Amino acid sequence: MQLKELEIADMEIFNKAFKNINSQASDMSFRYLYMWRKNYNIKFSVINNFLCIVSVPRKYPPFAFCPVPMGEFQRDDFRKTVSELKDYFDSRGWKLIFGRVEERMLGMFKDNLDVKLSIKKIESCSDYIYSTKSLISLSGKKLSSKRNHINKFMREYGEFEYVDINSQLAPECMRIFNEWCEKHDSCDCEVPEECEKWACSELLNNWDLFPGLKGALIKVKGRFEAFTIGEMLNEDTAVIHIEKGNTDIFGIYPLINREFVSRVFSNTIYINREEDMGIEGLRKAKMSYHPIKRLHKYVITPEYV
């Protein structure tokens, strides 16, 4: 099995595979995988008409993503693909593990592999899925605090300017990110290429090469103070990859979230705001928007004798 590193030229291979399975999962996106490719240490190959992605992270055991069929699912080809992945892992002294497998794909393993499977839900990897309509209207008692935050912003600042991101505005986005980092400890990565800031810069620095990517900045009193980046995952679901702002400006986060979704993704039904990575502050922030569901992901370990 020959695996290769991820390059922008490979985008159409991934787009074809992910479109075929119509996934709502945030990591079933080429742009997501590309921006985090150094963190995951990703390589891939198309084997027996399945897209196979292997991750060898620095801090965690190696794993394979769920093999993604490039066309109609074929049981024998799936079994052969898993067998070849096992041989690849065995040759390197690794135990075969499938990671970040979304719940609806579990049956593909249970129904087609003649081996005992150890299946474990990983809460920290589970995506938060919201109603687009709810994020735009912010109606109801549950979201009253978000409306109040935006109202307070408007009382204090009076107005704002919404601007679409383009490649020329990438430096403004990174300035906002750098200023955000100065107020948080989460940017002090042992390996810079594994940081969210580096991942974000990979999207911004290649903006014109990602035609499906959407983004916006919010300008307050003549200065850009927040930005966000997202894309369509499938016909009814968009995902928000990045959202950063000046935390000294009260209400700017609910404001940019509402404005971006209403202006760019109002034709969707769902918004995926990704996972919380096991970080309590992120969990609380994501729960505060009251997701309509969690898209759970699992680790599958085939227990070969």
Report pLDDT digits (tens) over 216-262. Answer: 999 999 999 999 999 999 999 999 999 999 999 999 999 999 999 99
The reply to whether 247 falls in a domain is yes
CB 81 within 8 A of CB 67: yes
215, 77: one domain: no
Q: Is residue 285 part of a domain?
A: no
- Amino acid identity of residue 76, one-letter, is D
Whole-number pLDDT of residue 191: 78
pLDDT at 1 over 90: no
The pLDDT value given to residue 193: 85
Say yes or no: 131 and 270 in one domain.
Answer: yes
The distance of Cα 250 from the centroid of its chain, to the nearest Å, equals 26
Both tokens assigned to 136: 């735009």
Confidence at residue 192, expressed as pLDDT on a 0 to 100 scale: 82
Cα dihedral: 51, 57, 61, 63 (round 10): -10
Tell me if 282 is assigned to some domain.
Answer: no
Domain housing 44: 4-126+297-302
194 or 171: which carries more pLDDT confidence? 171
Question: Do residues 26 and 151 both lie within one domain?
Answer: no
Average pLDDT, stretch 17-27?
A: 97
In a domain, 159, yes or no: yes
**pLDDT, mean of residues 15-31:** 97
Domains held by the chain: number: 2
- For 233, residues 6+ apart whose C-beta sits below 8 A from its C-beta are 18, 23, 24, 25, 26, 28, 29, 239, 272
Number of helices (H), then strands (E), in the chain: 11, 15
Total-model pTM: 0.95
Residues 95, 192 share a domain? no
pLDDT tens across 272-293, in order?
999 999 999 999 999 999 999 9
The token pair at 263 is 């202006």
> For residue 146, which of 137, 155, 159 has the smallest C-alpha distance?
137
Residue-level pLDDT at 305: 64
Range list of H helices, 92-223: 106-110, 132-137, 144-157, 170-182, 196-205
One domain, residues 131 and 263: yes
CA atoms within 13 A on the CB side of 23: 28
Residue 281, in any domain of the structure: no
Alpha carbon dihedral 201, 202, 204, 208, in 10-degree steps, equals 160
Residue 66 belongs to some domain of the structure: yes
> Quick one: 263 and 193 in the same domain?
yes
Residue 147 has pLDDT above 70, yes or no: yes
pLDDT band at residue 106 using 50, 70 and 90 as cut-offs: very high
CB 302 within 8 A of CB 131: no
Q: Is 255 inside a domain boundary?
A: yes
Is 64 a member of any domain? yes
